[in-house]
Structure formats: structure tokens, C-alpha cells
Amino acid sequence: MPIRTAGLSARARGVFVLAAVLLLAAVGFGVQRAAGGGDAGPGGGAGPAAAPAGPRTADRIVPAPLSATTGSGPGYRLTARTAVRTATGPDAPAQQAQEVRRIAGQLAEALRRPTGLPVEVVADGDAAADGIGLLLDPALPAETGAEGYRLTSDATGVRISARTPEGLYRGTQTLRQLLPPQIEGPAKAADGTEWTVAPVTVEDRPRYAYRGAMLDVARHFFTPAEVKGFIDRLALYKVNHLHLHLTDDQGWRIEIPSRPELTRVGAVSEVDGTPGGFYTAADYQEIVRYAQERYLTVVPEIDLPGHSNAVLASYPELDCTRSARPWPYTGIEVGFSTLCPTGDAVFAFTREVIAEVARLTPGPYLHIGGDEVKTISSAEYAGFVQQVNAQVLAAGKTPVGWNQAAPAGVGVLQYWDGRGGRDVELGQAAERGAKVIMSPSGRSYLDMKYEKSYPLGLVWAGTIDARHAYTWDPDNVLKLPAGSVIGIEAPLWTETLDTPYELDLMLLPRLPALAELGWSPKAALDWDGFKRRLAEEGARWDAAGYAYERRPEVPWPAR
Ligand code: ACM
């Protein structure tokens, strides 16, 4: 199991990172700074490509849709007459109709800001009239599913149809990608910007039902506003689950009213000893609501029985094996801590925590961790995980565990590390019916460095550039029974990351690579084509003010 060592204090690392950024920018490595952040050059290697002229065509969408064709003709130009029109029909339940109107409002708002156009919402009008029609159509083929949609555009307008509001929402994300990158800007774009949607027909639905990203808010705490920013980036690429790693050795980040010491003591600090933080119930529910509005399900993780030093500091009576380190714990070693594996007190504790987290979480999943427990026997471990698994089920949620929890009967397992026979154990669990989320650490861990000399991140699972993140098949990492893999998740651990800017540098451009693996049909996956589409996303991130790495393996357009 990895020992993660950073070795630098936050301040020393900050100075180091700043120096490295300036140096790399100076030599043309191309670390991109945030909004308005200067003129770092394009990456080397693949070399700059000319920015394509005209509206974005259907073959430039990320993640690649199931099918897309670009028609002839001028496409649809947004004007002062453009409205977002909903058509839900008389049979749609009132709640669905209301949800479609909310999505229409969200889209109109996103279009208004950069375009400066009025973009009104017309509820239950004629979806075919001038503008952008959102049409709820339960008669679409069943295989369209809940997230699928159809998008057509021509000179008269854009029409998105789907069986559900969720499908319409995914279609609006494609529409964003069919507009010029300036559509992502926080303020009105320069006069004269052509807001034209190319004439296209897109049929789309995802390959996998579960497409996630994880943010570790335990090693470094991120505020609700910062988590919302993270969600914004995920939504654009049709990611539909946000896994929040809420607890670890360095901090406990969610308020549990019956256990006040968890936040009074356990939340004060983070890696390197900088101040920590936690979410109140209201904060957490606000994150959940914001995610829901973008059709992301929050998956909360309470990591048990290991990664629990913050609990042990808060409630020392749960430390029967004396595994705690002095508090606050600000290092990044793993595997030393464990809750007492047996006894009424520990299961009363887990029951209360699980009940509260389940109460605050509308989504189906509750992640119980289970990784890297090194100081108790396998029998103690299995007994503990079985009890907690039962508590999650009793709280009405589906337990999820890291793949170490496979022998303990957890029904959804997140694969990250197959060493030491864990791949075999996972295979056996899948034979018994367990479902698997693929997060192989050597491919999908967004905290791994792009290359050895990169200033942020870790290397224990190797280095991961955008190409390496893209060129693997979630169905063929392990030999599992057909249908076991329900999707893919990209975890972003934050031992070395303590600002949203640093999160961005690790997320972009690798997140869209992993999102495409989760969404697009296998036949559409092709690095050479993808890297060109990915390169065009740079202008979108520039407009949005997102930092990103201008990696040399991607042919970014010259600026
Ligand atoms: C993990 O990376 N410890 C799940």
C-alpha cells in the first residue's frame, strides 16, 4: 500500500509551486494561469494548431455523442427574438413540467450573460417556434433512457427532446458545446461575437449509468462555494455523480449533531496544519441541491474503520487498539488508524453517523470506505464492515466500498488497487453479484502527476498524462462478469492540493478524457480524434476562467 509523502509545508510548497509555475511558463511548458492570467505559451510536442473558424460542428462535442451529423446551411443564430421554449404536453406530471421550466430558466440565464440577449423563457409554448425548444417526449425510443436526448438545429431553431428532464439537461450541455467558447464567459462578450449553433442532428445516451468524480475535502477542506465550482466543471462533461470524501485521518468535515466533538476537535486542521473546516447540515444540503440542479448525485463517504484518526482524536474511547497519532495529524501517511473493530460503543457511533448522513442525502448511495486498514485482523475487518454495511442498508441506502471491502459482502465496490490478490477478491464478489465502479489508480486518479517533474500531486500509482487517462477500457481492466461494471469515477485526492486553482490544474484536461470514457460509445473512442476535440476545450476554459494544463500531448490552438 502506498505511503504518500509530500515532505513540504503548505507555505514552502506554495513558494515552490509558484516558482515552478513561473519557471515553466518562462520556458514555454505552458502552465496556464487562471482568468486573465497572462500569456503562457502553448504546449510543445504536438505543436499549436490553428483555431478552426466558424461554429463548432457536431464532431467537436466532448464527450463524443452516440451519433452526430452536421447538416448544410447556416445554422441557428441567437438573436433578440430567441427564447427558450418548453413543451411538456398535457400528460406530463406537474413536477416534471416545473422541472423542465427550471432547466429552461437555467439555460436562458447561462445564455443571457455572455450574449447580452434577452432570452426569455416561454413555458409550454410551441417548441418549434424561433428559439431553443425543450420538448419532453415520453414516446422517444425506450433505449434513449433517462439521460439520452436528441438535439437538432437548423436556421429556424434548436430542438432538444428527451424522455425525462434529466435527458433535456444533458442536451443543454451539448448545446453549450455547439456555441462559441465565449458562451462560458462570466460577462458580456465583445460586440460582434456570432452566437451561431451549427446545423446538426445529435442522438445521444451514455455508455455507463455511473459517471463520477471524487473530491477529497478531508485532506484539504474546500468551501461549499468551491465545491460548487467543482460541480460546474463536472456538469459540462455530463458527469452524474459527485463522491465527497468527507472524513480521513486529517479531518472530519460534516457536522453530526449528536457527536459534536467530531467537528469541534476533528475539523480544526488539514494536511500541513493549515485551518480546516466542515459543512453544517445546511452547507451540505446546499451542495446537494446545487448538484441536483445539474443532475449530479452526491455520494457521501465516511471512511471506516481506517483513515479515522480525526474520529479517534474526537472520541478517544473508540481507540481501543491505540492507533491514534497526536492531534492534529497533519502528515499524509496512510493505514495506521482504525476504529475499535468490535463493541457496542463503536457501532452506536457508526449507526448515528450513518443515520444522519443518510438523512441529509437524497441519493441512493452511502460510501463506507474500507480501504487501507492495516492494524486489525482480516476477520475483525470483515466483521466490522459487515455490521456497517447492514447499518447503511437499514438507513435505506446502498453501501459502496473501496475494493478491499469485497470479501465483506458490500454490494457496490470501487476498484482502485488490485495488488495482493484484491483483483481476485473483487472478481469473486462480482461473480456473487456485486457491481463495480472503475477507478484504477494508475489511470483515473487525478492527483497523480502528469509527469515526474510536475510540481503538484503524487506518483505512487505512476504518472498520468491526458493520453494515459484516455486510453483504457473500463470493461477490460479486470475479467469480470458481463454487466458488472456500472461505470467509472475519477478521484481527486488533495494531500498536495489546497486551492481551487490547483484542483483545476489537475482536473483539466484529464477530467474530459475520463468523462468521455464513461459516456461515449466504445467505437467512438480514439485518442487522435479526441485530442483535437480536447484542444478546443481550452478556449472554453479560458473564457470561463478555469485554469488548466496546456499539456504537450494535446494540440492546443495558438493564442
Ligand atoms: C485509496 O486510494 N486509498 C482508495
Long-range contacts, stretch 418-423, CB < 8 angstroms, 24+ apart: 418/478, 419/1, 423/478
pLDDT digit string (tens) for 382-424? Answer: 999 999 999 999 999 999 999 999 999 999 999 999 999 999 9
Band (pLDDT 50/70/90 cuts) for residue 519 is very high
3-state secondary structure (DSSP) of residue 448? strand
The residues near 138 (Cβ < 8 Å, ≥ 6 apart) are: 91, 92, 163
Q: Which neighbouring-strand residues pair with 414?
A: 402, 437
The residues near 90 (Cβ < 8 Å, ≥ 6 apart) are: none
Query: Which pLDDT belongs to residue 31?
Result: 32
Q: Give DSSP secondary structure letters for 263-324.
A: HHTTTSB-GGG-B---B-HHHHHHHHHHHHHTT-EEEEEEEESBS-HHHHHH-GGG-TT--P
Query: Which pLDDT belongs to residue 126?
Result: 77
pLDDT score of 207 more than 90: yes
Query: Which pLDDT belongs to residue 130?
Result: 83
Question: Ligand 1 atom closest to Cα of 402?
Answer: 4
Query: Which pLDDT belongs to residue 47?
Result: 36
pLDDT score of 24 more than 70: no
100: CA distance to ligand 1 center in Å? 38
Would you tell me how many other CB atoms lie within 10 Å of the CB of residue 166? 18
What is the chain's alpha carbon radius of gyration, rounded to the nearest angstrom?
A: 24
Question: Ligand 1 atom closest to Cα of 1?
Answer: 3
Q: How far is CA 271 from CA 13, 18, 217, 313, 450, in A?
A: 12, 19, 11, 15, 22
Query: Which pLDDT belongs to residue 55?
Result: 55
Band (pLDDT 50/70/90 cuts) for residue 13 is very low
Q: What is the mean pLDDT of the chain?
A: 90
For residue 234, give the H/E element and its range: helix 224-236
**Average pLDDT value for residue range 445-461:** 98
Query: Which pLDDT belongs to residue 40?
Result: 30
The residues near 249 (Cβ < 8 Å, ≥ 6 apart) are: 218, 307, 308, 309, 310, 325, 329, 334, 336, 337
243 vs 231: CA distance, rounded Å: 11
Percent of the chain with pLDDT over 70: 89
Q: What is the pTM of this model?
A: 0.91
pLDDT digit string (tens) for 477-489? Answer: 999 999 999 999 9
Query: Which pLDDT belongs to residue 441?
Result: 98
Residue nearest to atom 1 of ligand 1 (CA): 371
pLDDT score of 8 more than 90: no
Nearest to 212 by CA among 444, 505, 466: 444
Domains of the chain: 74-204 (3.30.379.10), 210-301+326-337+346-355+371-519 (3.20.20.80)
pLDDT score of 360 more than 70: yes
Band (pLDDT 50/70/90 cuts) for residue 41 is very low
Query: Which pLDDT belongs to residue 125?
Result: 76
Query: Which pLDDT belongs to residue 57?
Result: 67
pLDDT score of 254 more than 90: yes
Question: Ligand 1 atom closest to Cα of 369?
Answer: 4
Query: Among 372, 404, 438, which residue has the most ligand 1 atoms within 8 Å of its CB, making it the best to mutate?
Result: 372
Higher-confidence position of 460 and 198: 460
Question: Ligand 1 atom closest to Cα of 372?
Answer: 3
CB 221 within 8 A of CB 274: no
Catalytic positions are 372
491: CA distance to ligand 1 center in Å? 9
Query: Among 373, 402, 439, which residue has the most ligand 1 atoms within 8 Å of its CB, making it the best to mutate?
Result: 402
369: CA distance to ligand 1 center in Å? 8
281: CA distance to ligand 1 center in Å? 26
Query: Which pLDDT belongs to residue 58?
Result: 66
Query: Which pLDDT belongs to residue 476?
Result: 97
Query: Among 371, 458, 460, which residue has the most ligand 1 atoms within 8 Å of its CB, making it the best to mutate?
Result: 371
CB 537 within 8 A of CB 51: no
* Residues in the ligand 1 pocket, defined by CB under 6 Å: 371-372, 402, 416
Query: Which pLDDT belongs to residue 54?
Result: 52
